[in-house]
Amino acid sequence: MKTILCVIGLTSLTLSIPAQNKIPVYLDDTQPVELRVEDALSRLTAEEKIQLLHARSKFSSAGVARLGIPENWMSDGPHGIRAEVIWDEWNQAGWTNDSCMAFPALTCLAATWNPEMAALYGKSIGEEARYRNKNVLLGPGVNIYRTPLNGRNFEYMGEDPYLASCMVVPYVQGVQQNGVAACVKHFALNNQEIDRNAVNVTVDDRALYEIYLPAFKAAVTEGKAWAIMGAYNRYKGQFCCQNEYLLDNILRKEWGFDGVVVSDWGGVHETESTVYHGVDMEFGTHTDGLASGAKNAYDSYHLAAPFLNLIKSGKIEEKELDKKARNVLRLAFRTTMDRQRPFGSFATPEHGLAARKIAEEGIVLLQNKNNVLPIRLQDTKKIAVIGENAVKVMTVGGGSSSLKAKYEVSPLDGIKNRAGVAVEVTYARGYVGEAIGTQDGLKTQNLSDNRSSDELIAEACRAAQDADYVIFVGGLNKHGYQDSEGKDRKELGLPYGQDAVISALAKVNKNLVVVILSGNAVAMPWVNEVPAVVESWYLGSEAGNALARVLAGDVNPSGKLPFTFPAKLTDAGAHAAGDYPGNNHEETYREGIFVGYRWTDKNNIKPLFPFGHGLSYTQFAYGKATVSGKHMQATETLTVTIPVKNTGERKGKEIVQLYIGDEKASVARPVKELKAFEKIELAPGEEKIVSFIISADDLKFFDDKRHEWVAEPGKFTIYIGASSADVRASVAFELK
């Protein structure tokens, strides 16, 4: 007898095969995956195929124990591996060994503009998922930043489809090298949380293909993602988890996706349309208690007994079941049944270092008048830290991305640690937000405070008066109506009266640094009153250490904004032209392709801070841009070069951005669009020649009448700069 040990979920099964028989093809990992899939499929009963397609707990689906095919185990989320919950409940399971490393939010990752950081992120979080025996990581998210009110923007990669595409590919590849499927979400047009379960999005095909789909396509065609998650909303009147146009026509036929499509939890609403045009795996349907209903009702899912009954009655052919079962089996052979799959690691010092490194590269220095930053600790006796966000836990909350972190260094503790004993660091509350001590079933801290806003501001000003530096740490948090799943923000402004606190501090101390923790743009009516503003995102376990190292100058800030900060809400296209948040569950994206900087450029609107903006503690000078030819045929490429020099006194990194504008087109086109970028590091006085190669593909728009990408002959301008609004050089050429 030959014995094979197969791991199934958290248990194992021993299969005995007679010695005279060969190993079944499906168990022989020397065979091509497609042969193994077909062999396994041929051995399954209809009932066994059905059980592959739907949940058996909140985060798992059944395998086939008879054949040694393991269960599938999913985990939120994109920023860390979610704590275990009770089998059929959302309540915490109370494990003592599931405290993960919290990585920065994906807005921070996008702000690094560094694909190497995306690869490090994916590799690290993939190792954590593998160690916890998860074979599907529910992330990353790449929905486009359309409105600064979207409560879930912090989970995504900004407003630009090219930047998001460049960052998602190495993330996916990093995760999957651990034998864990990256499940890219939420496909598609899930650009708001308000009314997300019902809203029907109307958007023209140009905007769909040019703005909202490219990052998903890159994840599939370049990153080779093994899983995609359908969205909650509707498109063309169909829910996205049972959408013929998105899932059949685009994902499967146009892009050739051969992975598994997973529903968002509760995103499936009907059986037949899901069978023919929908997801392969169904999770969280409301019958199991996602919102209400019976417990342990998984056999009642649309892809469970109802699907099987339609097959047995002859109304649906079993070949439709086979299509979905194939995709789930392929997932198993790529993950749990790959014997070369590494074992992973969990909450290690190496992962902490990775989290800190990503955080440091993503922090954005928005403003630095009079070179207030970096803090000169050698000349500093006292630092006053003000603001609730300096002490508030930020790894807990926000919805499905809420984490049970092994540790979280607060901004206050990070500043204290870096300042050392020679510098007095004092703290004052400044303002009071939510004071609850638990969220998402996890303990945070009780921050209740009954003092009035006047009392809090007076205390903060007293602390600030004689300080060498005042660091206000505010922004948003992970509670409802801020940066959180399920609800959108109600306004662009800061909550809890923070504007009044900042203005008061500016009057008593000229060395004021405002640090914003958020995953969204915020209004800054006080921006001209304060010298320094830092966007610090949600930075995860190493938040305080990363922030302190940037403030102190140990790290030269090099992050740049992955989305536009509008001066006011109506400066965003979704609010000036669109129907946000919709009427009677209908919303039209009237701004079309003009999202973010494309909108502000088109309408000559000056943003508060533009897309791609970010300062450094050193300075960079751009030389003259040159192009290898003034004319280009459609089959040719051009090389664009520009010298960039560090003219300051510190080593630093600069993100050189290349945009292209079509000077005359048959359709409305943006003034310019990001088509390339490179992050370079330069020592003081050092100069590098940055080169970009452009092709006709970089000049194309999507022709919705011909349903194809088109590059029209004519004149184009290349813009190279430090942000979308800070163009340092330009050069023209013509496409023949």
Of 28, 32, 82, nearest in space to 58 by CA:
82
Strand, helix or coil at 609? strand
The label of the residue with tokens 């993602």 reads: 225
* Cα gap 447→436, rounded to integer Å: 7
pLDDT at 57: 93
Partnered with residue 656 across adjacent β-strands are: 678
* Per-residue pLDDT at 185 exceeds 70: yes
Mean pLDDT of 644-666: 98
The label of the residue with tokens 């339609």 reads: 310
* Cα gap 333→425, rounded to integer Å: 55
pLDDT tens digits, one per residue of 686-710: 999 999 999 999 999 999 999 999 9
Q: Give, in order, the Cα–Cα distances in Å from 530 to each of 371, 472, 518, 533.
A: 12, 11, 19, 8
* Per-residue pLDDT at 437 exceeds 90: no
237 token code pair: 């009147």
pLDDT tens digits, one per residue of 46-92: 999 999 999 999 999 999 999 999 999 999 989 999 999 998 888 89
* Cα gap 279→288, rounded to integer Å: 18
Q: Give, in order, the Cα–Cα distances in Å from 372 to each of 81, 228, 368, 419, 530.
A: 38, 46, 6, 16, 10
The label of the residue with tokens 């023919």 reads: 276
* Per-residue pLDDT at 14 exceeds 60: no
pLDDT at 99: 97
Instruction: Of 79-83, 293-297, 543-547, give the lowest mean pLDDT range.
Output: 293-297
* Cα gap 112→106, rounded to integer Å: 10
Mean pLDDT of 467-488: 97
* Per-residue pLDDT at 9 exceeds 50: no
Contact 168, 130 (CB under 8 A): no
Cβ count within 10 A of residue 630:
10
Rg (CA), the chain: 26
Instruction: Of 137-141, 270-274, 291-295, give the lowest mean pLDDT range.
Output: 291-295
Residue ranges covered by each domain of the chain: 1-69+261-334, 358-559, 618-735
Average pLDDT of the chain? 95
pLDDT at 295: 67
Using alpha carbons only, give the angle 230, 234, 240 rounded to the nearest 5 degrees: 20
Instruction: Of 332-341, 428-437, 501-510, 623-632, give the lowest mean pLDDT range.
Output: 428-437
Q: Which phi and psi (to 5°) does residue 378 adopt?
A: -65, -20
* Cα gap 734→692, rounded to integer Å: 17
pLDDT tens digits, one per residue of 454-475: 999 999 999 999 999 999 999 9
Of 139, 81, 83, 153, nearest in space to 484 by CA:
153
What is the enclosing helix (H) or strand (E) of 359?
helix 349-362
pLDDT at 291: 56
Q: Give the CATH number of domain 618-735; options: 3.40.50.12780, 3.40.50.1370, 3.40.50.2300, 2.60.40.10.
A: 2.60.40.10
Instruction: Of 323-327, 395-399, 659-663, give the lowest mean pLDDT range.
Output: 395-399
The label of the residue with tokens 């900087």 reads: 597
Indicate the length of the chain as a whole number: 736
pLDDT tens digits, one per residue of 358-368: 999 999 999 99
pLDDT tier at 565 (50, 70, 90 boundaries)? very high
* Cα gap 103→80, rounded to integer Å: 6
630 token code pair: 């003034």
* Cα gap 255→240, rounded to integer Å: 17
Per the rule left: phi > 0, alpha: psi between -120 and 50, beta: everything else, 240 is: alpha
pLDDT at 408: 98
What is the enclosing helix (H) or strand (E) of 574?
helix 573-576
Cβ contacts of residue 455 below 8 Å, gap of 6+?
Answer: none
290 token code pair: 């996602």
* Per-residue pLDDT at 13 exceeds 60: no
pLDDT at 441: 77
* Per-residue pLDDT at 2 exceeds 80: no
316 token code pair: 């649906």
The answer to whether 264 is a known catalytic residue is: yes
Measured on CA atoms in the order 460, 466, 467, 471, is the torsion positive or negative? positive
Cβ contacts of residue 283 below 8 Å, gap of 6+?
Answer: 54, 55, 59, 61, 74, 262, 263, 264, 265
End-to-end C-alpha distance for the chain, whole angstroms: 70
DSSP string, 244-260: IIIIIIIIIIIT---SE
Tell me, what DSSP letter sits at residue 350? H
Contact 294, 288 (CB under 8 A): yes
pLDDT tens digits, one per residue of 108-149: 999 999 999 999 999 999 999 999 999 999 999 999 999 999
Contact 243, 278 (CB under 8 A): yes
* Per-residue pLDDT at 16 exceeds 60: no
* Cα gap 467→552, rounded to integer Å: 16
* Cα gap 314→412, rounded to integer Å: 66
pLDDT at 533: 99
Of 687, 673, 666, nearest in space to 622 by CA:
687
Based on DSSP, count helices (H) and strands (E) in the chain, helices before strands: 17, 31
* Cα gap 571→606, rounded to integer Å: 9
197 token code pair: 């379960």
Q: Which of 76, 98, 195, 264 is catalytic?
A: 264
Buried b (16+ CB within 10 A) or exposed e, 30-52: eeebeebbebbbeebeeebbbbb
pLDDT tens digits, one per residue of 573-612: 999 998 899 999 999 999 999 999 999 999 999 999 999 9
DSSP string, 492-547: SSPSTTHHHHHHHHHHH-S-EEEEEE-SS----TTTTT-SEEEE----GGGHHHHH
* Cα gap 105→73, rounded to integer Å: 23
pLDDT at 5: 52
pLDDT at 90: 85
Q: Give, in order, the Cα–Cα distances in Å from 147 to each of 8, 33, 162, 223, 571.
A: 43, 42, 18, 27, 10
pLDDT tens digits, one per residue of 231-257: 999 999 999 999 999 999 999 999 999
Share of the chain above pLDDT 90, in %: 92
* Cα gap 188→506, rounded to integer Å: 44
pTM for this one? 0.96
CATH number for the domain running over 358-559: 3.40.50.1700
48 token code pair: 């066994």
Strand blocks (E) in 550-627: 586-588, 620-622, 626-627
pLDDT tier at 288 (50, 70, 90 boundaries)? low
Strand, helix or coil at 722? strand
